[in-house]
A = this chain, B = another copy of it.
Amino acid sequence: MLSAFPSLTVSLPDWMSEVCRPGASFATADERMALVIELARTNVARQTGGPFGAAVFDIETGEVIAPGVNLVVSAHAALAHAEMLAIAVAGRALESFDLGVRATELVSSTEPCAMCLGAIPWSGVRRLVCGARDEDARRIGFDEGDKPADWISLLRTRGIEVVRDVFRSEATAVLEGYARAGGPIYNSRGEE
């Protein structure tokens, strides 16, 4: 019998320093999306998780504040989606639960699922930039959850800008490559 409940420790994969280091800067939306697509691709290649990457950037300087990748299966953590890790690690890096202490944005290789969407207003980021669309992920079997139909306008109402379709086809290709290779498409009832 445990005397206490376990703590949670989640670390980014060891390969992260080869792809992305603290202090690196990415000037344009294209460069930032190229990074998160590379995170998604590397996460699959190194077998550390699903085909999703994300990062929080300083909008003005382009500095990457925190990257994230999907670690659901490897970390035994249903909530360890790429966007959640990027937001959580960014909070540690900035020592604030509100990423709005700087002008920050979340760049994600795929439009967020219902959970990550719900997390975005709490995070304090001012902009969301997406690659593949929700329906691109659904098409290969990922469950994106029950999102409000007008989720983009709801974010905008909260003052969060939404930019879509940045390198959409490249981001979708990572999803498709993963599915073709037989990677696990897990959902609420475990792996299929």
Q: Which chain A residues have a beta carbon within 8 Å of chain B's beta carbons?
A: 1-12, 16-17, 21-23, 66-67, 72-73, 75-80, 84-85, 87-89, 91-101, 113-119, 121-124, 143, 145-148, 151, 154, 158, 186-191
Contacts and interface: CB of A to CB of B under 8 A. Distances in A.
Each complex incorporates copies of this chain amounting to 2
Given A7-B12, A114-B118, A143-B121, A79 B73 contact: no
A87 B98 contact: no
Contact of A124 (B1, B78, B99, B145): B78
22 contacts: A2-B22, A3-B21, A5-B93, A7-B11, A8-B8, A8-B85, A9-B9, A77-B97, A78-B97, A78-B119, A78-B122, A79-B84, A79-B122, A98-B190, A115-B115, A115-B117, A115-B119, A117-B118, A124-B188, A146-B154, A147-B148, A158-B188
A24 to B, nearest CB: 10
Contacts of A16: 4-5
Contact of A3 (B22, B78, B94): B22
